[in-house]
Chains A and B, each alone.
Chain A
């Protein structure tokens, strides 16, 4: 049970949007940038995305090849562990289901480690990136995804805190175990469900 803070009433609860998980606020028209690295410049001509690890066949797509796959979009909300949420946003790209179906994970696969062209990594249970819950996206609100937000393409796993949605994504390694990524090694939660406030290791 949390301890009350002297003099703190909080504000705006009567108008609180039910789409906001606990401890989050609506950033409205802003989209804060949070990255631990220098914002990279990646050319789509040399861009690629690979699914490897415990798969029947390793598959790599070029920028043109991934765009030739069946398109998929997400409309909904995103939640950053630093407590902002952005409601009612639209991203377009391709479903991770489509990518995994091409590579065919082996029966013992349980997790993936997403990686970026910068070397950033983040771990996810396989169940969190399948079943229409994860995408590789390159359009935001109908326009190319800005570089500072992960363009040309980023992972999108909107039902988890947004550090799981790796910017400048370059591939997924399919694993039979959980392997911590960049923020997870540095104290952040292995799964990161915003509705359970899984922000830090031990939450």
Chain B
């Protein structure tokens, strides 16, 4: 079940987030929204494992990307950030998850908070790669422009960035928390909503969707806990 994955690229996303590109011996069969478990093993057999969402779109290759937020005191995330270099081999298990996935076959509203953007980015990338951008709308909430992952690639007609504390001068929207007004227009009929973020954000965003009449069975939620 555990496979060896070789780190082939590392990229800084923000001050405390890095994207690690891994290569497997065989194709990664992941779907957009799934995650891999990364396991670290010490010489005495002690292990620590954490789950990280895949950020890259499925493309049939043997590579995939995980974006990892560095959590102070997080045993795995600090190791990945501070110790791992290109060429290192890590053990991974996955891909895992069959609920919070999108296969580019139905309308979707993606709502992410902070690092909750990661699995939604895999979905957006899949949509763009398969010429299905018309099926997705992405609304992402971040504190400031410097907290936005994938900033160079993200922007497009299907994407709306909401800044809660500090916005670029080009932003017409005043800073503040996500509101119903931010998601009313992108919530197209028959869309399934995918909400991902910290528990407080996920609950708030879910309640906004319910308030706009989105049926409960078409809201899928992924809560990122403090799992360093």
| Interface residues, chain A, with chain B CB atoms under 8 Å away | 2-11, 13, 22-23, 25, 27, 30, 32-40, 82-84, 118-119, 148, 182-183, 185-188, 199-200, 202-203
Contacts and interface: CB of A to CB of B under 8 A. Distances in A.
B227 A83 contact: yes
A183 B227 CA distance: 19
A22 B45 CA distance: 11
B102 interface: no
Contact of A32 (B42, B48, B51, B199): B199
Given A3-B4, A5-B40, A10-B42, A36 B225 contact: no
Given A23-B48, A36-B221, A148-B199, A8 B216 contact: no
B199 A6 contact: no
Interface residues of B, number: 47
Which label, helix, strand, loop or mixed, suits the secondary structure of the A interface?
loop
* A-B pairs, 10 with minimum CB distance: A32-B225, A186-B98, A10-B42, A10-B46, A2-B41, A38-B206, A5-B40, A33-B199, A8-B40, A7-B83
B223 A34 contact: yes
Given A8-B79, A36-B222, A84-B227, A186 B97 contact: yes
A200 B40 contact: no
Nearest to B48: A10
Contacts of A84: 225, 227
B88 interface: yes
A25 B75 CA distance: 10
Interface string B28-51: 000000000101111111111111
B203 interface: yes
Contact of B225 (A7, A34, A118, A185): A34
A40 to B, nearest CB: 8
B91 A13 contact: no
Nearest to A27: B226
Contacts of A23: 47-49
Given A83-B227, A148-B199, 9 more contacts: A23-B48, A32-B227, A33-B199, A33-B225, A35-B221, A38-B219, A82-B51, A119-B217, A187-B97
Contact of A38 (B46, B84, B97, B216): B216
Interface in B187-228: 199, 203, 206-207, 209-210, 216-217, 219-223, 225-227
A19 B68 CA distance: 29
Contacts of A7: 79, 83-84
B225 A82 contact: yes
B75 A4 contact: no
A2 B2 contact: yes
Contact of A8 (B42, B50, B99, B227): B42
B90 interface: yes
Interface in B86-109: 88-91, 93, 96-100
Given A25-B75, A30-B226, A200-B1, A4 B42 contact: yes
B210 A2 contact: no
Contact of A148 (B1, B203, B217): B203
B42 A200 contact: no
A82 B227 contact: yes
**Which one of B44, B84, B90, B223 has the highest number of Cβ atoms from chain A below 10 Å of its Cβ?**
B223
B83 A8 contact: yes
Contacts of A185: 98
B210 to A, nearest CB: 6
Contact of B99 (A33, A39, A182): A182
